[in-house]
Amino acid sequence: MTHTVLRLDASARLQDSVTRDLTGRITARWPEARIIHRDLAVTPVPQLTEGWLNANFTPADQRSPEQIETLALSDELVGELQQADTIVIGLPVYNFAPPSALKAWIDNVARVGVTFRYTENGPEGLLKGKRVILAMASDGTGAGSEIDFASPYMRHILGFLGLTDLTLVAADRLLLDGETSRAKASGQIESLPAVA
């Protein structure tokens, strides 16, 4: 069976983006894989609206044609996640947090009854058995530091959806020592297995 990799890019910088470079090199670790590439900066995912919320919380068999259309992109995004064996996410750190383009994607795929559910034992993620590689880049924020609100948030929300097998590749604090940071990230990529 062909291995499927979902690659998500979110950097507003289309040229010379560190996260785009990282996600590209990570994805290349699976040369025989089927790649689904979603560029959230080139083709932004809309912010949630009242109409989206109403459609999402209407039972699927009771949705109007307009509500079905409203959720069509969200359904497509969820389908990409469900198909993927490995998910590679570019995480540029903007103002200590994920960029709004990535947050909009999260809001569209975090759907009760679809990607998670509530049980008598608490919430349960429904996207299990997949691997996530988070490719983080920052100018001054240290990965895992007290001012890093990006990678812990991503780890939490992805885990909430059942995506608990997560590896962080970080080119952090680039403005302080870019050469060392890039070399560290390159070493982390080289240590990733070539096949899943």
Q: Which residues are annotated as a binding site for FMN?
A: 11
In contact, 117 and 111? CB cutoff 8 Å: no
Task: Give whole-number Cα distances, 74 to 45, 47, 56, 104, 150, in Å.
Answer: 9, 11, 10, 10, 23
Give residue for tokens 């058995």.
Answer: 129
**Amino acid, res. 161:** L
List residues forming the annotated binding site: 11
Taking alpha carbons only, the member of 21, 26, 22, 23 closest to residue 8 is 23
DSSP 20-35: HHHHHHHHTT-TTSEE
In contact, 13 and 38? CB cutoff 8 Å: no
Strand order in the sheet with 165-171: 34-39, 4-9, 86-92, 131-137, 165-171
Task: Report the C-alpha gap between 188 and 88 in whole angstroms.
Answer: 14
